[in-house]
A and B are shown apart, each in its own frame.
With several copies, the nearest count.
Chain A
Amino acid sequence: MFQKVLIANRGEIAVRIVRACRDLGLATVAVYEPSDMGALHVRLADEAYILNSPQGYRDPEEMLAVALRSGVDAIHPGYGLISEDPSFKRACEEAGITIVGPTSEVSTQVRDKVGAIQRVQAAGMPTTRPSTRTFGPDEGADLLAEAQRLGYPLVIKSCAGGHGRGTALVHNPEKLLDIARRSSAQAQAAYRDGRIYLEAAIIPSRYIEVPILGDHHGNIIHLGDHDGSIQRNTRKIISEAPAPNLSPSQREAIWTSAIAVARLFGLRGACTIEFVLDGAGNHFFSEVKPRIQVEHLVTEMITHIDVVREQLHIAAGLPLRLDQTQVHLDGHAIFCRINAEDPWRNYLPSPGLISAFRLPGGPSVRVDTYAYAGAEVPVRYDSLLAKLVVWGAERDECLQRAQRALQEMHISGIQTNLSLLQLLITHPEFTSGSYTTAFSHLKLNNPTPPPSQLRDLAAIAALTYLNRTRAAQSTTPTAYTTGWHRDSRRLPQ
Chain B
Amino acid sequence: MSKLIINIAGHDFEVEVNKSPDTDGFTTVSVNGETLRVAIAPEAAPTAIEWAIVGERSYEVLFDRDMRSIQSVHGHHELRIRDLEAGVARPRSGDGRVKAPIPGIIANVLIEMEQTVSAGQPILVLEAMKMQNEITAPRAGTITTLNARRGQTVTLHELLVEIS
Once bound together, how far apart are the Cα atoms of A489 and B104, in whole Å? 23
Interface string of B58-71 (1 = CB under 8 A from A): 11111110111111
Once bound together, how far apart are the Cα atoms of A165 and B134, in whole Å? 15
Interface of chain A, main secondary structure: mixed
Q: Is the CB of B75 within 8 A of A461?
A: no
Contact of A419 among B51, B59, B71, B92 (CB under 8 A): B71
Once bound together, how far apart are the Cα atoms of A463 and B75, in whole Å? 20
Once bound together, how far apart are the Cα atoms of A462 and B54, in whole Å? 12
Task: Give the Cβ gap from A437 to chain B, nearest Cβ, in Å.
Answer: 20
Task: Give the Cβ gap from B111 to chain A, nearest Cβ, in Å.
Answer: 17
- Interface size for A (C-beta < 8 A) is 87
Asked whether any CB of chain A lies closer than 8 Å to the CB of B107, the reply is: yes
Q: Is the CB of A466 within 8 A of B13?
A: no
Q: Is the CB of A485 within 8 A of B92?
A: yes
Q: Is the CB of B75 within 8 A of A423?
A: yes
Q: Is the CB of B81 within 8 A of A46?
A: no
Asked whether any CB of chain A lies closer than 8 Å to the CB of B39, the reply is: yes
Within 8 A of B (CB), among A427-480: 446-449, 451, 453-469, 471, 477, 479-480
Asked whether any CB of chain B lies closer than 8 Å to the CB of A96, the reply is: no
Task: Give the Cβ gap from B7 to chain A, nearest Cβ, in Å.
Answer: 8
Q: Is the CB of B80 within 8 A of A485?
A: yes
Could you say which residues of chain A place their CB within 8 Å of the CB of B93? 486-488
Could you say which residues of chain B place their CB within 8 Å of the CB of A484? 80-82, 89-92
Once bound together, how far apart are the Cα atoms of A485 and B86, in whole Å? 12
Once bound together, how far apart are the Cα atoms of A41 and B27, in whole Å? 22
Asked whether any CB of chain A lies closer than 8 Å to the CB of B101, the reply is: yes
Could you say which residues of chain A place their CB within 8 Å of the CB of B125? 185
Could you say which residues of chain B place their CB within 8 Å of the CB of A358? 49
Q: Is the CB of B132 within 8 A of A189?
A: yes
A38-B51, A379-B128, A457-B74 in contact; A485/B134 too (CB < 8 A)? no
Contact of A47 among B25, B58, B76, B77 (CB under 8 A): B58
Could you say which residues of chain A place their CB within 8 Å of the CB of B25? 34, 37
Asked whether any CB of chain A lies closer than 8 Å to the CB of B109, the reply is: no
Asked whether any CB of chain B lies closer than 8 Å to the CB of A152, the reply is: no
Q: Is the CB of A449 within 8 A of B129?
A: no
Q: Is the CB of A465 within 8 A of B83?
A: yes
A47-B57, A379-B102, A485-B81 in contact; A462/B6 too (CB < 8 A)? yes
Which of A272-280, A310-318, A409-417 forms contacts with chain B? A409-417
Asked whether any CB of chain A lies closer than 8 Å to the CB of B103, the reply is: yes
Contact of A483 among B17, B40, B90, B131 (CB under 8 A): B90
Once bound together, how far apart are the Cα atoms of A410 and B101, in whole Å? 23
Once bound together, how far apart are the Cα atoms of A479 and B65, in whole Å? 11
Interface size class of B (residues with CB under 8 A): 35 or more
Could you say which residues of chain A place their CB within 8 Å of the CB of B104? 379
Q: Is the CB of A48 within 8 A of B56?
A: yes
Task: Give the Cβ gap from B17 to chain A, nearest Cβ, in Å.
Answer: 6
Q: Is the CB of B82 within 8 A of A483?
A: yes
Q: Is the CB of B58 within 8 A of A464?
A: no
Contact of B92 among A30, A372, A479 (CB under 8 A): A479
Contact of A456 among B54, B64, B134 (CB under 8 A): B54
Asked whether any CB of chain B lies closer than 8 Å to the CB of A45, the reply is: yes
Once bound together, how far apart are the Cα atoms of A372 and B120, in whole Å? 36
Once bound together, how far apart are the Cα atoms of A465 and B69, in whole Å? 12
**Residue among A47, A465, A471 with the most chain B CB within 10 A?**
A465
Q: Which residue of A lies closest to B56 (CB)?
A: A47
Could you say which residues of chain B place their CB within 8 Å of the CB of A479? 66, 92
Within 8 A of B (CB), among A144-196: 165, 185-186, 189-190
Q: Is the CB of A412 within 8 A of B49?
A: yes
Asked whether any CB of chain A lies closer than 8 Å to the CB of B143, the reply is: no
Could you say which residues of chain B place their CB within 8 Å of the CB of A410? 49, 60, 62
**Residue among A348, A410, A458 with the most chain B CB within 10 A?**
A458
Q: Is the CB of A46 within 8 A of B58?
A: yes
Task: Give the Cβ gap from A205 to chain B, nearest Cβ, in Å.
Answer: 25
Asked whether any CB of chain B lies closer than 8 Å to the CB of A91, the reply is: no
Asked whether any CB of chain B lies closer than 8 Å to the CB of A87, the reply is: no
Could you say which residues of chain A place their CB within 8 Å of the CB of B57? 46-48, 456
Asked whether any CB of chain A lies closer than 8 Å to the CB of B133, the reply is: yes
Q: Is the CB of B130 within 8 A of A189?
A: yes
Q: Which residue of B lies closest to A345 (CB)?
A: B101
Q: Is the CB of A465 within 8 A of B4?
A: yes
A-B contact list, 19 entries, CB within 8 Å: A185-B125, A186-B132, A189-B107, A190-B131, A348-B102, A412-B49, A420-B76, A456-B54, A458-B15, A459-B13, A460-B52, A462-B15, A466-B17, A466-B19, A484-B92, A485-B66, A485-B68, A485-B81, A489-B78
New contact pairs (18) apart from A461-B79, A487-B92, CB-CB < 8 Å: A30-B58, A37-B25, A37-B39, A189-B107, A189-B132, A407-B73, A459-B36, A460-B52, A460-B54, A462-B2, A462-B4, A464-B44, A464-B52, A467-B40, A484-B80, A484-B82, A487-B68, A488-B93
Report which A residues bind B (CB closer than 8 A).
Answer: 30, 34, 37-38, 42-50, 52, 70, 165, 185-186, 189-190, 233, 340-341, 344-351, 355-356, 358, 372-374, 379-383, 407, 410, 412-413, 415, 418-420, 422-423, 446-449, 451, 453-469, 471, 477, 479-489
